[in-house]
Amino acid sequence: MTLEKKATIVSSSIATILIIIKLIIGILSGSVSVLASAIDSVLDLIVSAFNLFAITKSEKPADEEFNYGRGKIEALAAVIEGTVITMSGLFILYEAIKKAVNKEITQLLDTSILVMGVSIVLTVGLVLFLNYVAKKTNNLVIRSDALHYKTDIYSNGAILLALFLIKLTGIQIIDSLFGGAIAVYIIYSAYAIIKEGVLMLLDVALDKKIVDSIKDIIISTNGVTDYHFLKTRKSGKTNFVDVHVVMTPDISLLEAHRIADTIEDKIKKLDNKSNWSITIHLDPYDDSDINT
């Protein structure tokens, strides 16, 4: 079993535990913050299960039906996850406003505080593990999952603070105010996840620093006189590079192939965590004007 799959299984398990304890206390206490956190944990479980499916599918090798592999499933999963996070934020905002309007009272404060404390400890441990996996694998789905649970730490901390303040002051609207603030933060954090996923689906170019490094590698390689039609994109864990490299017309095929291999080897060293698919078209002269 891959490290990515293990990470999604751990996420699903933690989410299940948090769902059970938060739902019970959220319903019994009437705290919109705790209930909102429980709903968010339900969504966490759904997202983690979907992530497991996405990673399993994206790891399949290229075949006759999917010549370039299924890496974009990761981007699709990130977009769906970001959308789910946004929906949960809107629901929490709705519940916060409703409680403030109806002037509902929070019960079982001590138990709620204990539950949120346990939730924070479990979530911190999960985020540390997911960040480790994300750095090791550079997987977009795992990075999205880690970001998602990181927002949970902040939201759970805010909920814990709100419950303490309610206990000390007896001011019930604090629950709604904190719940609303958490909702806005959750919606804001989802934007980055959705943006990255959408850009990958649209074949956005690789990071500018990497593209500039690729250009430097090509033009500085002995035997290369120029280049054109450089295109890059990312699909899952694979970076794709297409480029036309210009060499002298009298160069031998063997030497031209050796130079292309040298360029490929240098480019691959730019990011050892990713797979690379590099296509180099060899030109005896600059034909960019002809083929534009």
Pick the residue with more confidence: 43 or 110? 110
Please write the tens of the pLDDT for every residue from 35-47: 777 777 777 677 6
In 3-state terms, what secondary structure has residue 268? Answer: helix
Q: What is the DSSP letter of 235?
A: E
Statement: residue 27 has pLDDT above 80 = no
* pLDDT, average across residues 237-265: 92
Domain boundary among 168, 201, 234: 201
* pLDDT score of 290: 66
Percent of the chain with pLDDT over 90: 22
Statement: residue 28 has pLDDT above 80 = no
pLDDT band per the 50, 70, 90 thresholds, residue 288: low
Say whether both 70 and 194 belong to one domain: yes
Residue of 233, 224, 230 whose CA lies nearest to 204: 233
Which of the given ranges, 2-16, 17-31, 145-159, 196-210, has the highest pLDDT on average? 196-210
Pairing of strands 275-283, 226-235: unpaired
The burial of 182, by beta-carbon neighbours within 10 Å (0-12 exposed, 13-18 middle, 19 or more buried), is given as buried
The separation between CA 190 and the C-alpha centre of its own chain, rounded to angstroms, equals: 10
Domain containing residue 105: CATH number: 1.20.1510.10
CA–CA distance, 193 with 86 (Å, rounded to integer) = 10
Statement: residue 243 has pLDDT above 90 = yes
* pLDDT score of 208: 93
* pLDDT score of 51: 67
Maximum Cα interatomic distance, the chain, rounded to a whole number of Å: 86
Say whether both 101 and 223 belong to one domain: no
Tokens coding 24:
């019970």
* pLDDT score of 48: 67
Say whether both 163 and 20 belong to one domain: yes
pLDDT band per the 50, 70, 90 thresholds, residue 55: low
Say whether both 227 and 135 belong to one domain: no
Domain total of the chain: 2
Statement: residue 14 has pLDDT above 90 = no
Q: What is the mean pLDDT of the chain?
A: 82
Task: List Cβ<8 Å contacts ≥24 apart for 206-213.
Answer: 206/232, 206/233, 206/234, 206/239, 206/241, 210/239, 210/270, 210/271, 213/270
* pLDDT score of 292: 56
* pLDDT score of 134: 83
- The boundaries of the domain holding residue 264 are 208-291
Which of the given ranges, 92-96, 151-155, 199-203, has the highest pLDDT on average? 199-203
CA distances from 62 to 26, 55, 58, 67, 128 (A): 46, 14, 10, 5, 32
Domain boundary among 182, 201, 220: 201
Tokens coding 283:
């030109």
* pLDDT score of 210: 94
Tokens coding 169:
């002051």
pLDDT band per the 50, 70, 90 thresholds, residue 3: confident
Please write the tens of the pLDDT for every residue from 129-169: 988 888 887 776 777 778 777 877 877 787 788 888 888 88
Please write the tens of the pLDDT for every residue from 254-275: 999 999 999 999 999 998 878 8
Say whether both 146 and 240 belong to one domain: no
* pLDDT score of 228: 92
Pick the residue with more confidence: 271 or 64? 271
Domain containing residue 260: CATH number: 3.30.70.1350
Please write the tens of the pLDDT for every residue from 127-140: 899 888 888 877 76
Say whether both 194 and 230 belong to one domain: no
Say whether both 168 and 262 belong to one domain: no
Say whether both 63 and 119 belong to one domain: yes
